[in-house]
Structure 1
Amino acid sequence: MNELKEICKSLRLAHTADIYKDIPFENPEQYLKSLLTKELELRESAKIERLIKKAQFLQKKSLSTFQWHDKIHLPSQIDVKELEKLNFIQAKENLILTGSPGTGKTHLATAVGYKACEMGKEVRFYRVSDLVANLEKAWKEDKLTLFKGKFRNADLIVLDEMGYVPFNTEGAELFFQLISDWYEQKSLIITSNLEFSQWNRIFGDSRLTAALVDRVIHHAHILNFTGDSFRITHALSRNN
């Protein structure tokens, strides 16, 4: 058995030594095909798990459980079916989800991120305030290049809760540099409770804000979430 495991290891067959006894045998060709097919399935499943872990989502969400409703206003150039194909990632386009808190923006952003991982895409998930704090820390410790390297292979970057915490000048400039690095190189999903005209509250510099918004929306699909907070509505319904 140890010899078999070593052979499989040399051939980079991570699962074959553990599953070969469980594959039904009809004839040699069928058995080999079934064994290698199962190896590929398990390999793909393990890859997806690695991608999800690397993305560091804060919670698990799925597009299958997301409730599309008439309070979500999509732009004319994309519909739900097209969005769920995630072709915007291949095109290096962005999704901007704006609207009041509790209307489903983070759920959708996370679910799209999960779907991207399932499709073999590299994803990174950050609350914007955490990302800026990490940028400032990396800059102070002279590790900014090393930190930026974490995004080198990312296909999609999810930036959640833009606008909840304002930045200082240093944080705003570092964030702008990062967005500039990603411009037309990565796809972004940004969730925000603020309209673009209000982003100056976060950055405190009108010219920097204008330049950042210009990069973010240049290749973007903007979805506007309206209506009442799901969390408040759910809480009120339980108390009635």
Structure 2
Amino acid sequence: MLTHPMLEQMQTLGLGGMAAAWRDLVTQDRAGELSREEWLGLILDREIAVRADRRLSNRLASAKLRFPDACIENIHFTAPRGMDRRAVLSLAQGGWLKAQENLIITGQTGTGKTWLGCAFGRQAARDDHSVLYLRMPRLFEDLALARLDGRFPRLVDKLARVQLLILDDWGTHTLNGQQRLDLLEIFEERYRRKSTLITAQLPVSAWHVMIGEPTIGSCPTAWCRFAVSPL
């Protein structure tokens, strides 16, 4: 007699996972053998799992990863790309994110830099970090438009707040003066507060030329403690 009112109350309170677990339990023959504590534990476990899944789905949707299904578990270390398995798996533990440190992934075209960056992004989302993926050309387009329509401060604030910012296709063209200043603004806002992951075909040694200004050119390399280089 109490089943339906309790289910309605659970749904009203947004406890859909608990309600689903309750419905499953009442159909099991041995449910009556469970203690009240066991019942409560099982339905709470389901609610926690449902909320975690929903939170991960929302984070991945917001991240806009180019390869949303990329994950650390699917990395093929046997492929001839020169990746250090121990280093990659250590980075996957997320200590660099907790310490607000940064990561550079460099390598030639087709070596899987973007995919690997997305795998780190998905792992960060699993660990309950907010993530945002952006290709550098798109970033500069968004910044230019935001400057024109007055959204620039809000956009920089959004980029500053995300816990892991993934910047893909770094170094595809030489930066102009405004782009250099915009990047400096973003890096300054994020320095020692949030983590940034950069993927680049261009070797780090050539970044100063691409950025075009020695002072600003030293910022990304100085702020990135870790590097992974698929060959």
* TM-score between the two structures when normalised by the length of structure 2: 0.84
**Cα RMSD between the aligned structures?**
2.4
Report the more deviating stretch, 191-200 or 118-127: 191-200
Structure 1 unaligned segments of length 5 or more: list them.
227-240
Contact 1:96 1:191 (C-alpha < 8 Å) held by counterparts: yes
Tell me what 1:22 maps to. 24
Aligned AA for 1:62? C
Please report how far the alpha carbon of residue 68 of structure 1 lies from its aligned counterpart in structure 2 after TM superposition. Answer: 2.3
Instruction: Provide the C-alpha distance between the structure 1 equivalents of 2:8 and 2:57, rounded to a whole number of angstroms.
Output: 24
1:224 equivalent to 2:224? Answer: no
1:146 deviation in Å? Answer: 1.2
> How far apart are the structure 2 equivalents of 1:170 and 1:189?
22
- The partner residue of 1:8 within 7, 10, 14 is 10
Residue 64 of structure 1 is aligned with which of 73, 82, 97? 73
* Alignment partners' CA distance in 1, 2:5 and 2:160: 39
Residue 221 of structure 1: how far off its partner (Å)? 0.7
Cα distance change of structure 1 residues 20 and 2 upon mapping to structure 2, 3 Å threshold: closer
CA contact (8 A) 1:136 1:174 kept: no
| 8 A Cα contact 2:97 2:164, kept in partner | yes
Identity across matched positions, percent? 23
Deviation at 1:152, TM superposition (A): 4.7
CA 1:16 to 1:206, structure 2 compared with 1: closer, same or farther past 3 Å?
same
Give, in angstroms, the shift of residue 143 of structure 1.
1.0
Instruction: Tell me: CA distance 1:133–1:6, structure 2 relative to 1, closer, same or farther (3 Å).
Output: farther
Instruction: Give the superposition deviation at 1:111.
Output: 0.4
1:169: how far off?
1.8
- Partners of 1:135 and 1:68 in 2: CA distance: 37
Distance 1:201 1:222 in 2: 20
Among residues 54, 58, 61, which one is paired with 2:62 in the alignment?
Answer: 54
Aligned residues: 221
Check whether the contact 2:107–2:202 (CA below 8 A) recurs between aligned residues. Answer: yes
- Determine which of 100, 107, 127 is the counterpart of 1:92: 100
CA distance in 2, matches of 1:194, 1:205: 16
State how 1:1-240 maps to structure 2 within 5 Å: 4=6, 7-8=9-10, 11-23=13-25, 24=28, 25=31, 26-27=33-34, 28-59=36-67, 60-69=69-78, 71-72=81-82, 79-214=87-222, 216-217=223-224, 220-226=225-231
- Deviation, structure 1 residue 2: 8.8
- Give me the whole-angstrom Cα distance separating, in 2, the residues matched to 1:197 and 1:119: 32
2:159–2:186 contact (8 Å) kept in structure 1: no
TM-score by length of structure 1 reads 0.82
Following TM superposition, the consecutive aligned residue runs of length 4 or more in structure 1 with deviations greater than 4 angstroms are 1-6
Distance in 2, matches of 1:29 and 1:187, equals: 42
The CA deviation at 1:99 is 1.7
Per-residue CA deviations over 1:60-105 (Å, capped at 9, x if unaligned) read 201111122564355xxx7233222121111111111112111121
Q: Distance in 2 between matches of 1:210 and 1:82?
A: 26
Choose 106-115 or 15-24, whichever is displaced more.
15-24
